[in-house]
Structure 1
């Protein structure tokens, strides 16, 4: 007699993830993990894996130096993947960060936060904050325990950025709000943050978003899957920063902000609304916006070799390597400047 080995599905969020009633998790959209490299064959970037805490890891990237005394901008990066797939160690993000690190000439810390459903939100946010605190602790000269030599030798702590794509961009938003309210070790300041194709959503459609069966949208289902206990559900301020009685966007803890969206991305209009809302919030900083025509969600990560992907990566790199022209970072910024552009 043939045995039926088909397992019963508990949650099906294809093509991203499936969870079976026996507890098995099948990540359908993850790329395989790859090891770090002493020197990447294509970019000459060196990488290594480190343990930040017993539960948080990261992959560090160091571009090839032309001067052994060179100091580099620092980027803490949060990968995308709907909070439930992908990794800082995956082929997809390893390839992308190698390219970004060499293009920006920046030292990058790509954070390996824990994933849902095994570790539902807000765990990813907490892991991401732990990683940020660890990085900031390197700026305290008196402290020596647990420091990484790449950061102490090559990092320029006056040029400290954070960035991410998709759910990672959502993490960037929430980290910036927290950094605006809680000082980092050594009172280190985040110069800027970039959000590529940020994952925001809500209970009511905006713009051209489909009006029918809105609560059955993939974006809604994913949030309720990765954060089933979220107060307010899909209108929790961590996923919907546009509802009433949420932390003001004027509290973002950085000096510069770059928001990147793509024309064919279902999340595009939320990203544009975010940039516009920051401008209207009274936040004292500079907002830049990039809209890429004819492309979809996180296209520059999935295929970084296309012409438009290369252009967007150059835009990100330019943002990270921005010269501050001697301006001192302040707890409160004295002027507002907005530079919103449309890039084809």
Structure 2
């Protein structure tokens, strides 16, 4: 039994609990915070915008003060997908907003963080579709044709020849799958993705990799496994679906990634580390023609640059990510 005596259907602790009446309790969310006309730390402005009413997709967009003031040349754009196992966290949360402000400031770029719908109420592939819809709406601002809810920060400040996508954890999984789709399906107005960074990517599979436990019962109790079953119960192939296991036999070739530059970052203590390194090696061996880089941060854990945001290593890592957006 859980909250107020309701019966629990499933739970993945310490992240989420789902009750038999269909209600969901998110246990790991950072508090929601409002956007800011001027962030006290960075001077970055932010606001919340609507991308689509049906389906309901929104975003938080960030504009660095130096970009707004100078107005001399247009700047790169980063379209970001937040982490949280597809089932918790938000583009509007405290830790995400802190991270985005710093990233926009150091990159001197416009950043837009997509608020996609969350599982299990909206199971995968809905979040994939929401992120694709969000990206297509964003790049539509590169031309003069009519767009619902046109956003002036995109039309006034962005150089659409320098469009990047990125994400952390489940957001990195989203970014990977967006890149695969962009490799085979055109973006609106002929826009091309310039590059992407994939941070601590949430990939998994039935076969153990590197230092992962080889005991089947233990593997099936790990949150990487149980969350996938919660958020995509109908996934063909289960935990070996190519959306979560992009190196599985029969998965689409990683040579199809739709960008010419890719940065993959992993953390030494992260349980997902070996998957990120395997992904890097698999991209390198796939015949993909782009520029590929791997960064490993020692003595740090999953999403440390967001969750332990006051540490010097977190601040340094954000600067490294920002430097990628040239």
TM-score normalised over the length of structure 2 = 0.95
Give the CA deviation at 1:89: 0.5
Which residue matches 2:47? 48
How many correspondences in the alignment?
318
**C-alpha displacement of 1:303:** 1.7
* Candidates 101, 105, 111, aligned match of 2:104: 101
Aligned partner of 1:279 in structure 2 is: 284
In the alignment, which residue of structure 2 is the partner of 1:316? 321
8 A Cα contact 1:256 1:285, kept in partner: yes
Does the Cα contact within 8 Å between 2:141 and 2:150 map onto a contact in 1?
yes
Question: In the TM superposition, what are the counterparts of 1:72-87 in structure 2 within 5 Å?
Answer: 72-87=75-90
Other-structure match for 2:192: 189
Q: After superposition, give the CA deviation of every residue in 1:248-303 in whole Å (9 maximum; x if it has no partner).
A: 10000001000000000000000001011101100010001100000000000112
Aligned partners of 2:166 and 2:175 also within 8 Å? yes
Q: Secondary structure at the match of 1:271?
A: helix
Partner residue in 2 for 1:267: 272
Counterpart for residue 11 of structure 2: 12
Q: Secondary structure at the match of 2:225?
A: helix
Matched, 1:61 2:66: no
Counterpart secondary structure, 1:290: strand
Q: CA RMSD in A?
A: 1.2
Q: Tell me, yes or no, if the aligned pair for 2:86 and 2:118 is still in contact at 8 Å.
A: yes
Which of 232, 241, 247 lines up with 1:227 in the alignment? Answer: 232
Report if aligned partners of 1:174, 1:238 keep a CA contact under 8 Å in 2: yes
TM-score by length of 1: 0.90
Deviations 1:286-321 (Å, cap 9, x if unpaired)? Answer: 00110000000000011222111112111100001x
Q: Which has the higher helix share?
A: 2
145-154 or 309-318: which moved more?
A: 145-154
Cα deviation code 1:100-143 (max 9, x no counterpart) = 11011110010000001110000000000000000110112344
Please give the alpha-carbon distance, in whole angstroms, between the structure 1 residues aligned to 2:150 and 2:284.
Answer: 37
Distance 1:229 1:266 in 2: 25
Q: Where does structure 2 lack aligned partners over 5 or more consecutive residues?
A: none
| 2:23 maps to 1:24 | yes
Contact 1:140 1:185 in 2 (8 A): no
Q: CA deviation at 1:69?
A: 2.9
- In the alignment, is the contact (CA less than 8 A) between 1:69 and 1:154 conserved in 2? no
Decide whether the 8 Å contact of 1:263 with 1:296 is kept in 2: yes
8 Å contact kept, 1:19–1:25: yes
1:307 aligns with 2:306: no
Aligned residue for 1:259, secondary structure, equals strand
Establish whether residue 124 from structure 1 lines up as the match of residue 124 from structure 2.
no
Change (3 A) 1:142 1:24: closer
Query: Relative to structure 1, is the Cα distance of residues 144 and 17 closer, same or farther in structure 2, using a 3 angstrom cutoff?
Result: closer
State the alpha-carbon separation in 1 of the partners of residues 95 and 312 from structure 2: 18
* Residue 144 of structure 2: aligned partner: 141
Residues 178 and 253 of structure 1 are in contact (CA less than 8 Å); yes or no, is this contact kept in structure 2?
Answer: yes
Deviations 1:9-48 (A, max 9, x none): 1112110000112222110000111111111111111011
Paired with 1:14 and 1:218, the residues of 2 have a C-alpha distance of: 8
Equivalent positions of 1:168-207 (< 5 A) are 168-207=171-210
